[in-house]
Amino acid sequence: MPACNVAVCAPAPYLAQLQVLLANSEISLGAQDVSAHESGAYTGEVSVAMLKEFGVRYAIVGHSERRQYHGETDAAVAAKAQRALAAGITPIVCVGETLAEREAGKTEEVVKRQLAAVIHANGHCISEIVVAYEPVWAIGTGKTASPEQAQQVHAVLRAQLRAASDHADRIAILYGGSMNAANAAQLLAQPDIDGGLIGGASLKAPDFLTIIAAAG
């Protein structure tokens, strides 16, 4: 039994298969996205009701690739988080800056703006979310924010959550920029980094297990 919470967030077509594989295990099932619409004629969208039918516990919202390639706005991400929370699914809210934004000194401004939209839309329910900081320049590039760089942003997010909720310290803030077996322990040792949103390294079982062990 892992000493931390573990979830696998899969593309929608594989949720049924994973639901069977993860049954009676300590690993939770998550989705990589969810529709902002509760119901209606939105062909191709996956609603919270559909996810609930497969026992989904988590849904990633606002991943940088959704923001970049699908034009998702802060308001759309906040609506998705709200929809998930209303259905009892925990949204993993992704925030993060591009390389250009970091080089312009706008990291703090960008992540605070992205998180503020979710806080504004969800009010007292904000203590039920999970936040993931994923610097866009470190996703799939092999580049990683240093533990100090990551901690600096996590501390900003923690302070913002504390200003919004009396229960902010129970909100997990994950780091999602190329965390791997080699750097996980050092990143997770930082005071405000509670876990990881693992990308490519999760596809290598030994590496994923190493990261889980580091989180425990």
d(Cα 143, Cα 181) in Å, to the nearest integer? 14
DSSP code for 89: P
- Compute φ and ψ for 110, nearest 5 degrees: -70, -50
Among residues 72, 97, 128, 134, the one annotated as catalytic is 134
Could you give the 3-state DSSP secondary structure of residue 34?
A: coil
Catalytic, 134? Answer: yes
- Cα three-residue angle 18-22-26, rounded to 5 degrees: 145
Among residues 63, 72, 97, 128, the one annotated as catalytic is 63
- Compute φ and ψ for 54, nearest 5 degrees: -105, 10
Catalytic, 148? Answer: no
Q: Which residues are annotated as catalytic?
A: 63, 134
